[in-house]
A and B are shown apart, each in its own frame.
Chain A
């Protein structure tokens, strides 16, 4: 680790202005950034911790009934506080990493990093969530722009994430044996106006929606509805832990399981 300075602002405004300086880097729960620093793979001059800002903490229910989660809320808090309001999201949060990770890592940090194998991007995209920042609101469909790439501008802070609550939903994760990130993870959510299926872990382009499954499940929300479908292996990740064909196969298996668990 190289030497760095750290600031812990207590308001979003102070954090935003601190991040306006060259060499400043936002720090959420640090579950990706700190190991990166320890390996000397990054050398920010100043870390701006977002964990001391009260207005970015906690879970509440919005005016439209959506679950609203402060950007610096830990996975453990999300798991606990959405257990009744959004059980599928709670289930997802409660299986990220291990207890230490869940008590440090934050939803905003995860979404800002947009690791192609992270769980939260599947929930956000699968729920059609709104990513609220210090400057604007971004629809999940516009937010995720590829592996480790998002619509965020430099210095922009995720202050809140708003999840419309579906009628039924479930997240199925098949873990990569070493990291236990998602080798493939599928989030299925049934809303009044249709079904959304978001896939993480599988694609070179990061989280994506499986359109054909969404169409089929919107007509008939059953595992049988996607029996005849095949997820495309094109552009899926190939590594030690799985070929594109295996990942494509898992997408279908997990989608079916998610539908069965949600139904």
Chain B
């Protein structure tokens, strides 16, 4: 009998009531008294010197209240990269300034160089068109290989070359890895592209700036995954606003997938404009602006090599990657291709030697940063593709090659050659579960049936691992992070016993309001309906580092449980006084404080009431009230892992790939809400299938974004996707957080792309069309070209 409430129950998502009935409160839904509107002038060329901007005509247009250019922000700070990366030669990465508005030069198509504030959106846009800008076009750097090879064209005029950093992980391992390759019985080499993606959150970015001259308080409503981080960046780094004078509110947010982690210049602009004109200033991106100016994802070009024995035993892995960071360093852009990518290159395997080299490359394209999975999909894709290729070259079963090399349960905790320590897992169990659920045994019969219909059927898999709960401050600090990555929660018990929980995690679709309440409900034995989860407002929540890297429950959820523990501990003291027992004899279970071995008890509600109406209360030793805050900084990452398979049919006439089945066997540790976890996996796999088959971000040689609308950028739609089989029964609870949770938000997007591509390559091979590799997206045209090459 499945649970119907609390931890482990598939409680329905309470937030969906407002989302599905049109009652959500998104930034664009907010209208403030006296509100004005901002529109941005964006570069239509990839790279140019701004010789002049004549704003006079625009300023004279109807309804125009102010015009800003880069000169207005010349004296404020730049939007910084969150991680400082050291190159192999010991030099610190290059970090050219990322201004609020482009000043002196525009560096990608869509780069904002001016903004108009007007009474209406149309008036603001009309005035933007009346701006007269004189660009002197500069050569555009678009292709990464060219950018590295040719220093004469540079993405930023202040640079001497286009390489941001040249990072080795771990540099001390390099010689041993090279030696292993030199003597290896077999080496497989694969060059691949991890295709650039546009995040395409359903809600475009939007911001409203407010300034109160009487108190000098600023308020920013914005589409953010982490309002406190935005506050820190806007206040301390960019605008020089005292942090206590800036309230950042991220109300309902319609998807982020990483793209709303970061601070963008538009947020600073609306605040500065609100102060100048003394009225709220609102900006809502249109879809074209989203394509041109949201931080994109992925965009790696990688050469990966696997050295192994003839029996498939892995000896060493070596990679060389060019990672596009675009024209400006977005906040996580330097961490994503390094510490979220290189550290995962051991995968779930006991490969003894691994060396990763990543060159981050500036180009005249939009910034590239973390996108659902962030570095881990890139690592997983490279590794799972090269393993499949090696198995084919050695005439071995790719399933058994993986099994042979998986870390075994007796090896935990397992320290990888790329510096992570996996605390627990059971990779054989998820592989076995996958074999069962995917009906691998029945595949040949299904393939024969497909062949009768003239279709080529293939089966591919990936066995993946990721590092989630992005945190340990000491660790990330040692790796170059400029912030800590703990989290925080406050549990406020009201006098009548219901509860508000203020959490630092931010929900932009995940379902925190439901799941976090389930956890508190189970811990305190009170109904979920009596618990509200409050998030997304720096004035309401104690602190927080937001949601990304599948960290919400593992990090913030743990802070919340620690705060609940403090509530229980204080409740015991109150109960001991009321029940005239010693504190050590008080037990708490099912919402009751009782004296052990007796029937004397007080309910949670009675204790709460007593805390706020302390007539019979130990005031001399205990403060009244029942509210506790906890901060939590984990000891380690968490390590979700799993095994995915994809079964496809390929049409030999057209190259079209149809996904017939997709099966996921995941180990997320303990599962708080199975329905929501399934939903997270479904969404992640949808995005992974989108990357594998459909999504392709293409800049032409001049740096124009060719795929700047849905007419050319193919998003996955319902009929592109199969029914999924999702299982998370093979769970090994995380060893270092009390809930035993690992995180599930990104898994689907990490494990799925290689499974899809491996399946297509398998289908072609079985049909006698041996194709070594096809770069994503595996569009019909690409598959057809590959099999007819």
Which residues of chain A have a CB within 8 Å of any CB of chain B?
1-3, 39-40, 174, 177-179, 181, 183, 240-243, 246, 249-250, 253
Contact = CB atoms under 8 A, between A and B. Distances in A.
B714 A243 contact: no
Nearest to A241: B781
Contacts, number: 47
Contacts of A3: 122
B696 interface: yes
A183 B656 CA distance: 12
B712 A246 contact: no
Contact of B712 (A1, A174, A179, A243): A179
The 7 A-B residue pairs with the shortest CB-CB distance, nearest first, are A178-B714, A177-B714, A242-B781, A179-B711, A253-B653, A246-B781, A178-B712
A253 B56 CA distance: 59
A150 B779 CA distance: 32
Contacts of B494: none
B694 interface: yes
B277 interface: no
A2 B706 CA distance: 25
Contacts of B126: 2
Contacts of B694: 177-178
Given A177-B779, A246-B784, A246-B785, A240 B706 contact: yes
Contacts of B784: 246, 249
Contacts of B785: 243, 246
B696 A253 contact: no
B698 interface: yes
Contacts of A39: 288
A220 B99 CA distance: 69
15 contacts: A2-B126, A174-B780, A178-B694, A178-B707, A178-B711, A178-B713, A178-B714, A178-B715, A183-B780, A240-B707, A240-B712, A241-B712, A241-B779, A241-B781, A246-B785
| B713, B714, B781, B784: most-surrounded residue (chain A CB, <10 A) | B781
B710 interface: yes
Contacts of A179: 710-712
A212 to B, nearest CB: 19
Nearest to B125: A40
A54 to B, nearest CB: 34
B211 to A, nearest CB: 30
Chief secondary structure at chain A's binding surface: loop
B652 to A, nearest CB: 10
B395 interface: no
Chief secondary structure at chain B's binding surface: loop
B654 interface: yes
A6 B579 CA distance: 78
A168 B308 CA distance: 60
A186 to B, nearest CB: 13
Given A246-B781, A246-B785, A240 B710 contact: no
Contacts of A2: 122, 126
Interface string B768-779: 000000000001
Interface of B: 122, 125-126, 129, 288, 653-654, 656, 693-694, 696, 698, 706-707, 710-715, 779-781, 784-785
Contacts of B656: 174
A240 B712 CA distance: 8
Nearest to A240: B698
A139 B566 CA distance: 83
Nearest to A250: B654
B698 A253 contact: no
Nearest to B696: A240
Nearest to B777: A177
A183 B781 CA distance: 10
B717 to A, nearest CB: 9
Contact of B654 (A40, A241, A253): A253
A249 B693 CA distance: 21
A100 to B, nearest CB: 14
A39 B781 CA distance: 30
Contacts of A240: 696, 698, 706-707, 712
A97 B779 CA distance: 20
Nearest to A98: B717
A53 B656 CA distance: 43
A243 B696 CA distance: 16
B363 to A, nearest CB: 19
A137 B151 CA distance: 62
B777 to A, nearest CB: 8
A178 B779 CA distance: 11
Contacts of B653: 253
Contact of A178 (B129, B710, B781): B710
A240 B715 CA distance: 15
Nearest to A256: B653
A177 B782 CA distance: 12
Contacts of A250: 654
Contacts of B781: 241-243, 246
Contacts of B715: 178
A2 B714 CA distance: 28
A1 B286 CA distance: 12
A215 to B, nearest CB: 23
Nearest to B698: A240
A39 B708 CA distance: 12
Contacts of A1: 122
A241 B711 CA distance: 11
Contacts of A253: 653-654
A245 B131 CA distance: 45
Nearest to A174: B654
A39 B129 CA distance: 13
Nearest to B121: A1
A174 B654 CA distance: 9
Contacts of B780: 174, 177, 183, 242
A183 B715 CA distance: 16
Contacts of B711: 178-179, 181
Nearest to B707: A240
A2 B288 CA distance: 17
Contacts of A243: 781, 785
Nearest to B652: A253
B590 to A, nearest CB: 51
A3 B120 CA distance: 13
Nearest to B129: A40
B601 to A, nearest CB: 60
Nearest to A3: B122
Contacts of B654: 174, 250, 253
A173 B713 CA distance: 19
A247 to B, nearest CB: 9
A3 B781 CA distance: 42
B315 to A, nearest CB: 40
A135 B329 CA distance: 60
| A177, A183, A240: most-surrounded residue (chain B CB, <10 A) | A177
A14 B712 CA distance: 38
| B126, B707, B784: most-surrounded residue (chain A CB, <10 A) | B784
Given A40-B125, A240-B698, A240-B707, 5 more contacts: A40-B129, A174-B656, A177-B693, A177-B779, A183-B780
